[in-house]
Amino acid sequence: MARFIFITGGVVSSLGKGLASAALGSLLQARGFTVRLRKLDPYLNVDPGTMSPFEHGEVFVTDDGAETDLDLGHYERFTGVPACKTDSVSSGRIYSNVLEKERKGAYLGKTIQVIPHVTNEIKDFISIGEDDVDFMLCEIGGTVGDIEGLPFFEAIRQFSQDKERGQCIFMHLTLLPFIKASGELKTKPTQHSVKELRSIGLAPDILVCRSEGPIPKKEREKLALFCNVRPDSVIAAQDLSTIYDAPLAYHQEGLDQAVLDAFGINPAPKPDLRKWEDVSDRVHNAEGQVNVGIVGKYTQLEDAYKSIAEALTHGGMANRVKVNVDWVDAELFEAEDPAPHLEKFDAILVPGGFGERGTEGKIKAAEFARTRKVPYLGICLGMQMAVIEAARNLADLGDAGSEEFDHEAGKKRFTPVVYHLKEWVQGNYKVTRSVSDDKGGTMRLGAYNAVLTEGSKVAQVYGSDAIEERHRHRYEVDIQYRKQLEEKGLIFSGMSPDGRLPEIVEVKDHPWFIGVQFHPELKSKPFEPHPLFRDFVRAAKENSRLV
Ligand code: GLN
């Protein structure tokens, strides 16, 4: 039976609750415990799959095909535990389940209410798989006081009462603003936030306080007194230069010890932190640097490509270099020479994306990388763009394009070398789709196998000829152009096991040019960098030596 840690936030959003939860998970693992992390989001979307990356940041995809919040990416990167469908839920999903049950007559005769029907649905969700791990960490999105969050707060309050005494604890993350004029760290917003929590029946056991600098003893004691927590359960979360210092920093502050104390786990098993010491050493002691240009569309919000940025950092750690990432808006050079924008980079990455905007710029970036022999990694849309570029410029298909951009009925602008996939195989099942399907949750999602061509670059990079990677896309490269493209040097070096769907392409006689239909960034970890990112950064390093 798991012990539960509920993580809430107050004062302001974006305090790094996800990171704190992930770091705590990794520290409990370092002490020999098993963990699972979950995110409960109060918004009404059923999942973030249909939200704009500008608004919500990246959509993180799990092996079992759930489109989830980017915090699940942090959880995986810090604990290495693959997240699944049952690790992420929103109010939208909860309400839609309740309403579906109501229509089926599951509550026949009853008036459906937030308490108990919605709260019961939330509680059922929290307890899925509770016998499988030592600790279940559940993060509640948003901040205390949000109207939408109330059913979740009420549900976790009830949940802790349903369980044995001491089986659940509450950790609350807040901000201690520093007022320059008076030179003081202010505790009042935290006091108010805890008051708000207590008014809905929740008393925090642990306070994690974000602050620019250390928390002096006086403020710590004040917080403990006014917020009714023990002084050693007031944990400072100072700003860090890298997120990968978080496990060690939280450990030094005593977070994991405070958690074990709160559960009465005594004596506490000693932690083995060697893994994180190595990670931290690699981040801080890089022996050089490389410059990578990411040519994308959602460049104003870095969170839109969160996992890619992290995977590049991991690739840098593996090669002991710092990876400087520059975000380049693909629209900048749709009508001009991309060279002035791209020449400064040691390698170019074109990430995933949706819609036509910016695609001509991405095609130009692929052409620049291919012809100038600059290392290129194309991910999902980035692979599709590389194929279109090769079709246009190498295989005499001047009007090659993607069906994704030919949405006006009857007006065909392109020869679709990338087409809308309507039928495919997933495990032992056939999946079918039509153009009129819902937008949410209808893509080719989650983990699929691919078979790699012996002797190819990717087979060498992976050190294997069979891989499994996560997907999130609607369109596919058309196999019928394979021969034509391979004759011109674009090799289809990874295919779905049934040989129908191109999964990887690479350019022959190029130092490093690989396009993948899947999202390798989702599986990269600081202590286990993804082979493609490790090798891509190695190629960038090699290229930087040449110039
Ligand atoms: N828009 C493209 C598709 O649906 C690519 C998606 C992506 O890059 N994730 O196939």
| Confidence band for 408, pLDDT divided at 50, 70 and 90 | low
- In three-state secondary structure terms, 317 is helix
Euclidean distance between CA atoms 351 and 496, whole angstroms: 21
Euclidean distance between CA atoms 250 and 311, whole angstroms: 23
Å from CA of 304 to ligand 1 middle: 14
What confidence tens digit (pLDDT) does each residue in 9-34 have? Answer: 998 888 899 999 999 999 999 999 99
Pocket test for ligand 1, best of 298, 350, 354 (most atoms within 8 A of CB): 354
Best CA proximity match to 70, nearest among 301, 245, 256: 301
Report which protein residue has its CA nearest ligand 1's atom 9: 352
Pocket test for ligand 1, best of 52, 380, 403, 406 (most atoms within 8 A of CB): 380
- Looking at residue 304, what is its pLDDT? 86
Ligand 1 closest atom vs CA 443: 4
- Looking at residue 12, what is its pLDDT? 85
Instruction: Using CB atoms within 10 Å of the CB of residue 282, give its burial: 0 to 12 exposed, 13 to 18 middle, 19+ buried.
Output: buried
Ligand 1 closest atom vs CA 418: 10
Contact in structure between 201 and 175 (CB atoms under 8 Å): no
What type of residue is 268? A
What confidence tens digit (pLDDT) does each residue in 272-295 have? Answer: 999 999 999 999 999 999 999 999
Pocket test for ligand 1, best of 474, 477, 522 (most atoms within 8 A of CB): 474
Distance of CA 302 to the CA centre of its chain: 12
- Looking at residue 236, what is its pLDDT? 94
DSSP letter, residue 132:
S
What confidence tens digit (pLDDT) does each residue in 43-96 have? Answer: 998 887 777 777 778 899 999 999 998 999 999 999 999 999 999 999 999 999
Contact in structure between 141 and 69 (CB atoms under 8 Å): yes
Instruction: Using CB atoms within 10 Å of the CB of residue 300, give its burial: 0 to 12 exposed, 13 to 18 middle, 19+ buried.
Output: exposed
Å from CA of 192 to ligand 1 middle: 45
Residues within a 6 A CB radius of ligand 1: 352-354, 380-381, 404, 472-475
- Looking at residue 213, what is its pLDDT? 85
Report which protein residue has its CA nearest ligand 1's atom 6: 473
| Alpha-carbon radius of gyration of the chain | 25
Å from CA of 299 to ligand 1 middle: 17
Ligand 1 closest atom vs CA 379: 8
Å from CA of 454 to ligand 1 middle: 27
Euclidean distance between CA atoms 400 and 26, whole angstroms: 47
What confidence tens digit (pLDDT) does each residue in 376-393 have? Answer: 999 999 999 999 999 999
The whole-number average pLDDT for the span 532-545 is 94
What type of residue is 253? E
- Looking at residue 412, what is its pLDDT? 78
Report which protein residue has its CA nearest ligand 1's atom 3: 473
Å from CA of 298 to ligand 1 middle: 14
Q: Quick one: how many helices (H) and strands (E) in the chain? A: 18, 25
Euclidean distance between CA atoms 451 and 494, whole angstroms: 5
- Looking at residue 423, what is its pLDDT? 82
Å from CA of 474 to ligand 1 middle: 6
* Angle subtended at Cα 345 by Cα 342 and Cα 348, rounded to the nearest 5 degrees: 75
Q: Is the pLDDT of residue 546 over 60?
A: no
Ligand 1 closest atom vs CA 519: 9
Euclidean distance between CA atoms 311 and 238, whole angstroms: 24
Report which protein residue has its CA nearest ligand 1's atom 1: 354
Considering the entire predicted model, what is its pTM? 0.93
Report which protein residue has its CA nearest ligand 1's atom 5: 381
Write out the catalytic residue numbers: 380, 519, 521
Higher pLDDT, 24 or 214: 24
Report which protein residue has its CA nearest ligand 1's atom 8: 352
Å from CA of 353 to ligand 1 middle: 5
DSSP letter, residue 437:
S
Ligand 1 closest atom vs CA 476: 10
- Looking at residue 547, what is its pLDDT? 41
Q: What is the mean pLDDT of the chain?
A: 93
The whole-number average pLDDT for the span 457-475 is 96
- Looking at residue 182, what is its pLDDT? 85
Number of other CB atoms surrounding residue 279 within 10 Å: 23
Å from CA of 517 to ligand 1 middle: 8
Ligand 1 closest atom vs CA 380: 8
Pocket test for ligand 1, best of 58, 362, 381, 444 (most atoms within 8 A of CB): 381
Å from CA of 469 to ligand 1 middle: 15
- In three-state secondary structure terms, 89 is strand
- Looking at residue 410, what is its pLDDT? 65
Å from CA of 21 to ligand 1 middle: 30
What confidence tens digit (pLDDT) does each residue in 292-349 have? Answer: 999 988 766 778 899 999 999 999 999 999 999 999 999 998 889 999 999 999 999 9
Report which protein residue has its CA nearest ligand 1's atom 7: 352
Sign of the four-CA dihedral 432, 433, 437, 439: positive
Token digits for 195? 């008051």
Ligand 1 closest atom vs CA 404: 1
The whole-number average pLDDT for the span 111-120 is 95
